[in-house]
Structure 1
Amino acid sequence: MPSAPSRPRTPRTRTARRGHPLALATAFAVVAGSLGLWVADSSASPAAAAVPTPDHVVVVVFENRAYDQVIGSSSAPYLNSLAAGGANLTASYAETHPSQPNYYALFSGDTQGITDDSCVDVGALDAPNLATELTAKGRTWASYNESLPSEGSTTCDSGNYRQKHNPWFGFGNVPTSTAHTFAAFPSDYTTLPTVSFVVPNMCSDMHDCSIATGDAWLKKNLKRYADWAASHNSLLAVTFDEDNRLSGNRIPTVLYGQPVKPGSSSGTTYNHYDVLRTIEDMYGTEHAGNAANGKDITGVWNS
């Protein structure tokens, strides 16, 4: 299982002989170099794996459920249908406990020294994050937050809304105007930002209510987008912040849409930093925090 990084808050050389294959290889390299031909450099970093460039990505984050609680469960028929028709990452892990640091990891590649679920100082952080990276590339970003009292509200909690699930408010370089109520999620999906996060409230996200409740919410509110994404070069990513503290922090992560190979799965170990890295590489952005050392999700794309 990947472990979460933490930080404070605030070969023997062979001698070539005449006619030996090594000598011939060396000679070829010299000639190729003099002719301006490309010669492989074993010291070079491996090229980034190919990932698609969807027109739109919607990331939905649920709460506190382990992989085996959801995948294969009769309580989550819709999410399992997405896994069957899309891609199921069978070794996906969260970074830590409790909730809030995981959201910061997924959004900014770092837990930003946060170790609990306390309300943060709004706008206190100036670190790179997915929103700033997308903006720098001329792409667009927004969040849609269920039960947020009003557009751009920075309140800590209200009814079933909790700021701890909305890391964008911690960054002064992310305009609060990009934080919308879920009612503002467009019905014309062509108007969606390049990347958006959807955060259900404390009941709809399975934290305070059942898996079945969250699954029904996902079907009611995102099925139409998922169906559209399957024929419009767009992606729905469903993941969880953390597990139930009983499964080594292994969580469900499901990808669905036209770029995804239907019925695919991957047993490669991934974490929140890898999900962030993959989205960043889809749009050629910089890499925030630990995403720079992450890896792209592979083996589940159509091309």
Structure 2
Amino acid sequence: MVVLILKVQHHDQTDRKQKETVKSAQNIPKPKHIVIVVGENHPYNQIIGASDAPYINELAKKGVLFTNSHGIAHPSQPNYLALFSGDTQGITDDSCPHTFSSNNLAVALQKKGNSFAGYSEDLPSVGFAGCQSHSYHRKHSPWVNFSNVPSSSNLPFSSFPKNYSQLPTVSFVIPNLMHDMHDGTVKQADTWLKKNLDSYIQWAFSNDSLFILTWDEDNFKKPNQIPTIFVGPMLKPGKYPSYMDHYSVLRTIEDMYGIAPVGKTASTSAIKGIWK
């Protein structure tokens, strides 16, 4: 009789854990749209609290600020590849061009009936595959390197829809070198972001959509600590101290849309505890 009771308790505990796991997965929302903007080469403490970044700090207060967010590597290019494909693809520099055929966010989204586009400022034409044009650099637009991503997904920022309901499911916005803090100032980037993305962010709050702002890497320091901010109606605003990185962001997007993890995100956990 005692053995039977213990077995029942064990099954009850297993069932409860299974239900908790299902509930946890269900707590991750499925935004109608996600727009991701990537800045360049600035650590957390050069952005958060900086007087030259009033708009970015306003977003940090309005949404979720990750106080322990990190890049994957140095220099820039491996981080963009990690965020898009779950792997640095063996790249350790900013060389160009490269061609890969491995799985990535765009392909995984498409397999589930979702859509993807990358919008790059100063990209001279749709599908442009050159390494550089004015202040556009291919090393910051990782989808261009993947032969399984159609060239029609590689778009100039001038093509960013005015009607935000026409946005793809997930899109990246890559400012040019003057507006991503690589060559320009923090203040220039902050002003550009407000001018070009604030209306989308306001729209997102009433249209179940999400805005993500992150950086590729810090200023080449060992901690590689960067600002990462999520803004949207599905969030519990505040500061969150748990460790996270580019793989965490990608895995969260994958779980949102029920797509199979790509690359190293298979062994990475989605971000939890920030959702309403």
TM norm structure 1: 0.86
Distance 1:27 1:229 in 2: 49
Q: Does 1:237 align with 2:178?
A: no
Shift of 1:60: 0.3
Q: 5 Å matches for 1:42-191?
A: 49=25, 50-121=27-98, 124-191=99-166
Look up the match of 1:217.
192
Q: Does 1:296 align with 2:270?
A: yes
Equivalent residue letter for 2:175: P
Look up the match of 1:276.
250
Equivalent residue letter for 1:70: I
Equivalent residue letter for 1:206: M
Give the secondary structure class of the aligned counterpart of 1:142: strand
Shift of 1:157: 0.5
CA gap 1:39/1:297 in 2 versus in 1, 3 angstroms:
closer
Deviations 1:243-295 (A, max 9, x none): 01236100000000111223x22100000000000001010001000111111
Give the secondary structure class of the aligned counterpart of 1:277: helix
Give the secondary structure class of the aligned counterpart of 1:91: strand
Give the secondary structure class of the aligned counterpart of 2:228: strand
CA contact (8 A) 1:145 1:182 kept: yes
CA contact (8 A) 1:265 1:300 kept: no
Look up the match of 2:8.
28
CA contact (8 A) 1:66 1:247 kept: no
Distance 1:204 1:295 in 2: 31
CA contact (8 A) 2:70 2:245 kept: yes
Distance 1:96 1:25 in 2: 53
Equivalent residue letter for 2:156: T
Q: Does 1:286 align with 2:263?
A: no
CA gap 1:118/1:300 in 2 versus in 1, 3 angstroms:
same
Look up the match of 1:208.
183
Q: 5 Å matches for 1:184-199?
A: 184-199=159-174
Which structure has the greater CA radius of gyration? Answer: 1
Distance 1:295 1:83 in 2: 23
Equivalent residue letter for 1:275: V
Shift of 1:169: 1.1
Q: 5 Å matches for 1:233-272?
A: 233-246=208-221, 248-262=223-237, 264-272=238-246
Look up the match of 1:4.
none
Equivalent residue letter for 2:123: L
Distance 1:234 1:42 in 2: 30
Deviations 1:145-165 (A, max 9, x none): 000111110010011010000
Give the secondary structure class of the aligned counterpart of 2:96: coil
In structure 2, runs of 5+ residues without a counterpart are: none
CA contact (8 A) 1:67 1:252 kept: yes
Look up the match of 1:227.
202
Percent pairwise identity: 48
CA contact (8 A) 1:95 1:102 kept: yes
Equivalent residue letter for 1:127: S
Distance 1:100 1:74 in 2: 28
TM norm structure 2: 0.94
Give the secondary structure class of the aligned counterpart of 1:59: strand
Equivalent residue letter for 1:28: V
Shift of 1:25: 4.0
Deviations 1:122-143 (A, max 9, x none): xx31111000000000001001
In structure 1, runs of 5+ residues without a counterpart are: 1-17
Shift of 1:297: 1.3
CA contact (8 A) 2:75 2:220 kept: no
Distance 1:227 1:58 in 2: 13
Deviations 1:159-204 (A, max 9, x none): 1010000111111110011010000000100000000000001110
Distance 1:170 1:149 in 2: 17
Shift of 1:24: 4.7
